Amino acid sequence: MTFDGLMVRRRVALAVQTDENADLPGLRAELERRATDASLTLSDIPPDVLPAGLLDQTVPVLTMLLPAGTTIAQTRALVGPEASLSSLSASQDSTFFVVDVLVHDLRFEIAAADPAKVADSMATEGIVADAIGNYSTTFSAGLLAVDYVGPLLSDSVVESVRVGIARGAGAAPAEVAVRPESVTGVGVDMAIEPLPAPAVIAQTMVDHSVDEETPVPVSPGPWIGYWVGLTVLLCATLAIMLRSRFQRRRRRLASAFEREQPDPESP
């Protein structure tokens, strides 16, 4: 990856998995309230930012990014027992994952006589939005800046964003500069970055107890019908073979008995 260093940052994400009947707007509002009480903000981010190992197990219905500098402990406190509980029913069947993630924190800049017009052209064509999803724009005298914070982008995607911005400005892609949104803090060298740590499952907002004596229903596997049918067929075949053998034996005994009967007319 070419665009790393200060352009890649470590952040904490909060992912929520819940059942299909949950009140997602209500759950999100409750999390927002708790974040506000903790002087934090929650920003939506695509679940692609999560480690592949977690996405292999579940696809969260909500994935939110915490501000730079937020710790794992602060994030867990939003859903842990120390947080004030509410009667929100949507939280009762929810599982929360607190995850260290890597994000791209990029700023694309291009000189433009009318930055607002270039931004409108970009939005109309949709090339940049198709490539990276959400982004923000800022204008200054003769300069358009496009800021992106989200899942890591490949070099080819970054280049496609440069092409989209340049087209709106009537310029060459090489004229679009790519730099960190901030030059302070600590970046990440992707060449030496280790594998991501496992996700931390935070405590849910409401504790639940499980009755150990309650049986867990187990649905039969897809092959059960095949094996039952095969067993019935084998039993039927065996019964037919035994019946046929028994009938042949009876016929042989009857024939032998008839041959041994004396002739009544013999002297």
pLDDT digits (tens, 9 = 90+) for 19-76: 888 888 999 999 999 999 999 999 999 999 999 888 888 889 999 999 999 999 999 9
pLDDT at 81: 60
pLDDT at 255: 55
Does residue 228 surpass a pLDDT of 80? no
**Per-position DSSP letters for the chain, written without gaps between them:** --S-BTTEEEEEEEEEE--TTS-HHHHHHHHHHHHHHTT---EE--GGGS-HHHHTT---SEEEEPPTT--HHHHHHTTSTTSPP---GGGGG-EEEEEEEEEEEEEEEEE-SSHHHHHHHHHHH-HHHHHHS--EEEEETTEEEEEEEES---HHHHHHHHHHHHHHHTS-GGGSEEEES-SSS--B-GGGPPPPPPPEEEPPSS-----TTSPPP-PPPTTHHHHHHHHHHHHHHHHHHHHHHHHHHHHHHHHHHHHHSPPTT--
> Residue 75 corresponds to which amino acid?
T
Q: Which of 89-98, 99-108, 110-119, 210-219 has the lowest mean pLDDT?
A: 210-219
Query: CA–CA separation, 129 vs 108, rounded Å?
Result: 14
Question: If you average pLDDT over residues 129-149, what whole number do you get?
Answer: 94
Residue 109's pLDDT band (boundaries 50, 70, 90)?
Answer: very high
Query: For the chain, what are the domain ranges?
Result: 8-202, 223-253
**CA-based nearest residue to 66, from 192, 202, 206:** 202
Tens-place pLDDT, residues 175-215: 999 999 999 999 999 999 887 666 566 555 543 323 333 33
